[in-house]
Chain A
Amino acid sequence: MTTELDVVAVAVFAFFFILVTVMGFMAARWKRGETMAHIDEWGLGGRKFGTWVTWFLVGGDFYTAYTVIAVPALVYAVGAYGFFALPYTIIVYPFVFLVMPKLWKRAKDSGYVTAGDVVFGQYGSRGLELAVAITGVLAVMPYIALQLVGMAAVIKALGLHGEGLRGELPLAIAFIILALYTYSAGLRAPALIAFVKDIMIYIVVLAAVALIPWELGGYGAVFQAADDAFKAKGAGGILLGDSQMVAYASLALGSALAAFMYPHTLTGIFASAGANTIRKNAALLPAYTLLLGLLALLGYMAHAAHLNVASPNDVVPALFQTLFPSWFAGFAFAAIAIGALVPAAVMSIGAANLFTRNFWKAYVDPGVSHAGEAQVAKVTSLVVKVGALLVIVFLPTQFALDLQLLGGVWILQTLPALVFGLYVGWFRAPALLAGWAVGFFGGSWIVWQDGLKPLHALSFGGSTVTVYAGLLALAANIVVAVAVNLAVAPRVARTA
């Protein structure tokens, strides 16, 4: 892969980057409410995003730049197993269709902004609220850091690199600009930028999946080349091994259940104008899944193009650089970099909302005004982004990757507290808190024991089954919650 400074690509890249920067600052005036000094306005865009805005925002927020880099990288490295992202992002939508409109309604009716608010409103327990809020912040922080990894991969491919801290400068500048317009415009900034980002990504992926196989001899040849490469390597394959099937299904299911528990996806849900907006989006968002599946195939195309990359994360940039003309490579890299800005902005807003509502308002200043809340959230979003930047600059990338893996296990443990109450009134806070604690710490322990791998091998008699650790932890979580609830609320249980 060449890392010479590519002037044409850099110019195209810079043009689009400046375009979205201007849009980001102007977004403060878009669909403006009476005041920005209210957390509903800054942190949820006034809760009035219709079907299209929500489609672009949630699509831009859920299918992140890191995904664009990491999914093809995983498919390149291990083959079929990396495709679990496809079933995952399909089966997430029936769940969204059934659950999220109810959650939205609860939030709208009571003015809730975060998952912590919903849980406190339902159970009146500060402990459970804090558990849910801390889990959300911990899970989303490494995710923000990983958006920077996605951005860094394309900046490196553009040839903008230097020694030490100077090499991180373009990344730092991009992120500081992002932090500033998120500060002033709140959720409206990523919502507006998402339009540009998503359209660019669609163009890039459609061009890639149409043109690249044509240059490489068709899809049949691409799959064959990948198959040959895995056979030569002696690991991976374009089909799953027998031991991988349960792992594949459990990763897909666990990830799908976790996906909309994250602060950034919930922020997108709470910001929509109505329950029907969400139901319609459950039917429309799979368009992005198609895109993701096609994108994953880039991992195989890299084998067909005989690319040699230092790290799997360079697969996508290297492929674009090798097979696209400079100007289009610049366009594609801009799409990925802007693709990092949207989720990073929404994630920092989601984390800031949690801090403000479930920590600041709960413990520091219970009488805080609406304007005060908005101010605390704005400052927090700045702190969160600077923190993510420092993590990426000063700590090894593997640290963020490991934390993000744990984050998936953690956030899944908030599902019982957040979702069960929408359907049944039987559970009590101590039971859900006990379940959360078992799932959170037990899940972390399993992942740690397995050497920070998401899959855990279980033995039944003679056979071994490999299962996603997050799903195991969730099962333990639910069992403990039911058992403790039976113990602490025997009278309620008998009548239920």
Chain B
Amino acid sequence: MPERSPRPVLWLLLLPYIGLLWVPFYNAREPEILGFPFFYWYQFAWVPLTALIIWIAYRSVRHDD
């Protein structure tokens, strides 16, 4: 297996943990979007965001298999 140092882009993978585990940040009703309190749409927004981050990470790793 080729030597590889952790790529900087992999640090992006930490973002969902920070964004979702710091609960006091998003435990709020306002601002609402389409009737969804902040608590709900904020967490929903992390779904496509996390998929995007993983996709970026996927593009950056060596596909050695």
Contact = CB atoms under 8 A, between A and B. Distances in A.
Interface of A: 80, 83, 86-87, 90-91, 93-94, 97-98, 101, 105, 218-223, 238-240, 245-246, 248-249, 252-253, 274-276, 279-280, 282-284, 286-287, 289-290, 293, 297
B58 A280 contact: yes
Interface string B37-48: 101100110111
9 contacts: A90-B20, A90-B50, A93-B50, A94-B17, A219-B36, A220-B32, A245-B23, A249-B22, A283-B55
A283 B27 contact: no
B46 A240 contact: no
A252 B21 contact: yes
A90 B47 contact: yes
A92 to B, nearest CB: 10
A81 B53 CA distance: 26
Contact of A94 (B44, B53, B63): B53
A87 B20 contact: yes
B50 A286 contact: yes
Given A86-B44, A245-B23, A252-B20, A279 B61 contact: yes
B64 to A, nearest CB: 8
B37 A97 contact: no
A83 B43 CA distance: 9
Contact of A239 (B16, B27, B32, B55): B27
A104 to B, nearest CB: 9
Question: Interface size for chain B: under 10, 10 to 19, 20 to 34, or 35 or more residues?
Answer: 35 or more
B34 A219 contact: yes
Interface in B1-25: 10, 13-14, 16-17, 20-24
Chain A binding surface, main DSSP class: helix
Nearest to B46: A90
A297 B34 CA distance: 14
B63 A239 contact: no
A239 B21 contact: no
A148 to B, nearest CB: 30
A217 to B, nearest CB: 10
A86 B35 CA distance: 19
Contacts of B16: 90-91, 93-94
Contact of B47 (A98, A246, A290): A290
A293 B20 contact: no
The 10 closest A-B pairs by CB, nearest first: A220-B35, A219-B35, A94-B13, A87-B20, A283-B54, A245-B23, A283-B55, A286-B51, A249-B21, A275-B65
B51 A91 contact: no
A286 B47 contact: yes
A93 B54 contact: yes
Interface of B: 10, 13-14, 16-17, 20-24, 27-29, 32, 34-37, 39-40, 43-44, 46-48, 50-55, 57-58, 61, 63, 65
Contacts of B54: 93-94, 97, 279, 282-283, 286
Nearest to B10: A98
Contact of A293 (B10, B24, B29, B47): B47
A176 B54 CA distance: 40
A451 to B, nearest CB: 25
A151 B17 CA distance: 34
Nearest to A284: B51
A290 B50 CA distance: 11
B23 A249 contact: yes
Contact of A248 (B14, B23, B50, B63): B23
A223 B40 CA distance: 10
A220 B20 CA distance: 23
Given A97-B13, A283-B54, 6 more contacts: A91-B17, A91-B20, A220-B32, A239-B39, A245-B27, A248-B23
Nearest to A98: B13
A171 B50 CA distance: 38
A313 to B, nearest CB: 23
A293 B58 contact: no
Nearest to B36: A219
A218 B35 contact: yes
A86 B29 contact: no
A297 to B, nearest CB: 8
A280 B59 CA distance: 10
Given A90-B20, A91-B17, A274 B29 contact: no
Contact of A223 (B24, B36, B65): B36
Nearest to B25: A245
Given A87-B43, A97-B58, A249-B21, A223 B51 contact: no
A219 B22 CA distance: 26
Contacts of B17: 91, 94, 253
B24 to A, nearest CB: 6
B20 A245 contact: no
A253 B20 CA distance: 10
B14 to A, nearest CB: 8
Contacts of A97: 13, 54, 57-58
A284 B47 CA distance: 10
Contacts of A94: 13-14, 16-17, 50, 53-54, 57
A283 B13 CA distance: 11
